[in-house]
Structure 1
């Protein structure tokens, strides 16, 4: 916000500085090699009167110097009186110094600051007003030219059908139309200011516009970044509607791509809006693009068992499952030797068009586990070895005999009620609840859906 205010201050100051009169220019110092004017040791008779008459005659032809008195003695010119403007003081001295025979100029002129003085006060205001009135026809013509050029730009930008035909999506078409309007309005303003001769004001306006653009760029950086990211995403089309994607750590199905955000429906059925700037920078994983997807899980067998046999048995078990693809074939990899087991990772591929990924993994894990247990492989829990410090012998540890009697009197554990698994429970067909919700919302969203930048007719990146 501070940068924005600074930009407005500079923009307001620039035109004012352009309209203010320029200060008196300082005389450039004489070059070291320039010849120095010499003064004669004698003066011609009547030279002072001739110089005074010449300077007075020149001043008589200039209205600003009507009240200036000129006195000359031995070539030294003394100017006295009052002039309307500050610049006239230096101007009178420069004129007098250029007359032949002048040795030097003693400038005693002062500026007339009275209200009735010419060039100041009411007189100056009246002159400026008269000048403004004289420029009214030219200013009106310039404004008409500006309005005509701007109107032409709006007419060209209103050819929506043409821009929608040339642009790949509606967002880019609207961006092209806005750019055309902006260019014609600014171009018309430049032509109008040039017509009235406001070159300094034109430079100030363009400079102020640059400062404001810089300030707005910093203040609205995230908004501008989102719009640019929206443009790039609309051109690249990284996903389709209803694709199951993972954007960094955000997962869901794509509902739409707007000019500011990508809208997802999470697997819990909630709406998730991600700014397009974040989407453009993120790593996007698309689970829908390739129908074949791999699942994996880890199981640990007893370290004393044959890990290679367990690996082979688990791989064969996965291959026997009807939803696991034969190509690519299932795999089993020995990952590491743990504290009390050998960790084996089992991997299998499914066709997502026919099989739900979560259901497939949920069926594969118990199938491999049961096969290993039936074959006699142990799936041990972590084993921890405890070493008691002799210094802790005085601690009141529980007596083993008492613990044994307590276990004898402990109530028996309740038996687990057997549960029968039906064919419906083993169904691995894809669940389309979220996909159906997305399709329903896309059909019923109305105006918001009309601004969707996803285009199914264009190739996906």
Structure 2
């Protein structure tokens, strides 16, 4: 049952007692009336009944007087609960505070002062009421509390006006209470999450162990395959990364972050795309190195021509292809350029064809000149018989008929530069010995007034041919001259120089 106010309970008890006494007095009157009806009453009984009636009337008057005074005092009681702060930190607006139909200044002051002291939001609150005008004094920390006190006074019944003199005193800079409160909240949150953190750490450690084992197993499994070291390493680490991502996804699911876990799995490709765009050149070279190591268009030591650079391949790194040029310089070509360019590998097929042009006079026989050149090629030890050499007419020049000479040689064993020099030298000597003229376009002269001609004796002509024959006799008939050295390829010397040079990066080419 609900509990009554103490004053109300006393009023209830006195009302019941007064009713009881009235009932007793009424009983006495009933007794006197009955005695009078039966003519059996006595004087003593009449006196006793009269005294009971007087006592009951007196007690009833006293009780009624006390009850009226208590009721007037109880009219000032208000059981309205004190206002509290809302859940979002803002103060609720105070409701209507009723005192009584005609409230006195002291009652208004006492009620408002009690409410302000009970809230605990104000320092040294003071309330003064004069003819319904409320004067509020004191201090508070926030302006909302000051506004709330003014609204409270306005809503109090009997208040005519409110003079709000409460001052807002900002908190001191060195008040660490909010900081300590936040730290306490963080500590409680950490304790609540401690079991989840332990489970997450265990899952991450197990995922790392399984990822490490996966990398080891994939390395051993791919070791017997014809793959480059870089490709094997990339495949092994990709498998380990998948296992690690699976463990991280499990941790996020255990933590209740399902959406974040799905975002992580779905965003892995997006992250890779963003990184690919940001590091486009680096990523392009790295992917090109993977494809080159997988396809292997050349091997270590091969003579190749890439992007206009001719040289022997030293190594293929994750970024560049290192070449040693024929003049002994080390050149690094980006792998993306190598992958997109045309690659000429001179070592894959050791046979190499060379050619050059020689011009003869219009008065000379072309078939005879071809036979002379073919005989030189057939007698040359460095020229291959299969495929057979060719001497073809290239074009008709201003003063010469140009012949192009084609021949094949073993490029893996011989130097094509040296062999070409030897063949050109021997063809020129054979043409001179055969009387085939070799006119020069640069010495062609025009005579607009004609050329005077003088017939000389044959002896003079014979004498003029002697210096030419002496020059031909002075030329050696050997295949290779001292200036040409041997016809062997210089690849071994260049490779020796390359082995002594410092080459950056790890070689991704499998040994030949």
- Pairwise TM-score range, normalised by the shorter structure: 0.5 to 0.7
| Residue 320 (structure 2) aligns with | 261
Q: Secondary structure at the match of 1:239?
A: coil
8 Å contact 2:411–2:489 — kept in the other structure? no
Which of 337-346 and 312-321 deviates more? 312-321
Q: Is 1:345 aligned to 2:400, yes or no?
A: no
8 Å contact 2:358–2:404 — kept in the other structure? yes
Question: What is the rounded CA distance, in whole Å, between the counterparts of 1:279 and 1:350 in structure 2?
Answer: 28
| Residue 373 (structure 1) aligns with | 432
Q: Secondary structure at the match of 1:165?
A: coil
Cα deviation code 1:199-229 (max 9, x no counterpart)? 3433554566555433321121121111211
Q: Give the CA deviation at 1:163.
A: 4.0
Cα deviation code 1:211-248 (max 9, x no counterpart)? 54333211211211112111111121212222111113
Q: 1:347 to 1:166 in 2, by over 3 A?
A: closer
Cα deviation code 1:283-318 (max 9, x no counterpart)? 111212222221110011122333233223222222
Higher RCO (CA 8 Å, separation ≥ 6 residues): 1
| Residue 330 (structure 2) aligns with | 271
| Residue 425 (structure 1) aligns with | 481
8 Å contact 1:258–1:453 — kept in the other structure? yes
Q: 1:255 to 1:345 in 2, by over 3 A?
A: same
8 Å contact 2:325–2:331 — kept in the other structure? yes
Cα deviation code 1:315-355 (max 9, x no counterpart)? 22222222222222210111111111111101111223553
Q: 1:213 to 1:334 in 2, by over 3 A?
A: same
Question: What is the rounded CA distance, in whole Å, between the counterparts of 2:216 and 2:93 in structure 1?
Answer: 65
Q: 1:372 to 1:360 in 2, by over 3 A?
A: same
Question: What is the rounded CA distance, in whole Å, between the counterparts of 2:502 and 2:401 in structure 1?
Answer: 57
| Residue 454 (structure 1) aligns with | 509
Q: Secondary structure at the match of 2:364?
A: coil
| Residue 438 (structure 1) aligns with | 495
| Length, aligned pairs only | 323
Q: Secondary structure at the match of 2:224?
A: helix
8 Å contact 2:412–2:489 — kept in the other structure? no
Q: Is 1:138 aligned to 2:193, yes or no?
A: no
Q: Which has the larger radius of gyration?
A: 2
Q: 1:318 to 1:358 in 2, by over 3 A?
A: same
Q: 1:187 to 1:386 in 2, by over 3 A?
A: farther
Q: Give the CA deviation at 1:437.
A: 4.3
Cα deviation code 1:396-419 (max 9, x no counterpart)? xxxxxxxxxxxxxxxxxxx99x97
Pick from 240, 264, 288 the counterpart of residue 347 of structure 2.
Answer: 288
Question: What is the rounded CA distance, in whole Å, between the counterparts of 1:164 and 1:255 in structure 2?
Answer: 23
Question: What is the rounded CA distance, in whole Å, between the counterparts of 1:329 and 1:434 in structure 2?
Answer: 26
| Residue 27 (structure 1) aligns with | none
Pick from 206, 211, 215 the counterpart of residue 157 of structure 1.
Answer: 215
Give RMSD over aligned pairs. Answer: 4.0
8 Å contact 2:352–2:409 — kept in the other structure? yes
8 Å contact 2:326–2:494 — kept in the other structure? no
Pick from 183, 190, 195 the counterpart of residue 242 of structure 2.
Answer: 183
Q: 1:323 to 1:433 in 2, by over 3 A?
A: closer
Q: Secondary structure at the match of 2:253?
A: helix
Question: What is the rounded CA distance, in whole Å, between the counterparts of 1:340 and 1:446 in structure 2?
Answer: 53
| Residue 84 (structure 1) aligns with | none
8 Å contact 1:314–1:368 — kept in the other structure? yes
Question: What is the rounded CA distance, in whole Å, between the counterparts of 1:261 and 1:380 in structure 2?
Answer: 49
Q: 1:140 to 1:247 in 2, by over 3 A?
A: same
Structure 2 unmatched runs, 5+: 1-85, 96-178, 449-469
Q: Which has the higher helix share?
A: 2
Q: Is 1:248 aligned to 2:307, yes or no?
A: yes
Question: What is the rounded CA distance, in whole Å, between the counterparts of 1:257 and 1:455 in structure 2?
Answer: 10
Q: 1:441 to 1:251 in 2, by over 3 A?
A: closer
TM normalised by structure 1 equals 0.59
8 Å contact 1:356–1:430 — kept in the other structure? yes
Q: Is 1:232 aligned to 2:287, yes or no?
A: no
Cα deviation code 1:128-171 (max 9, x no counterpart)? 87556423322331232123212310232144444433562211
Which of 426-435 and 222-231 deviates more? 426-435
| Residue 114 (structure 2) aligns with | none
8 Å contact 2:374–2:391 — kept in the other structure? yes
Moved over 6 A (4+): 66-70, 121-129, 385-388, 444-449
Structure 1 unmatched runs, 5+: 1-61, 71-120, 389-414
Q: Give the CA deviation at 1:279.
A: 1.3
Which of 167-176 and 428-437 deviates more? 428-437
Question: What is the rounded CA distance, in whole Å, between the counterparts of 1:296 and 1:147 in structure 2?
Answer: 68
| Residue 80 (structure 1) aligns with | none
8 Å contact 1:167–1:173 — kept in the other structure? no
Q: Give the CA deviation at 1:357.
A: 1.4
Q: 1:123 to 1:263 in 2, by over 3 A?
A: closer
8 Å contact 1:242–1:435 — kept in the other structure? no
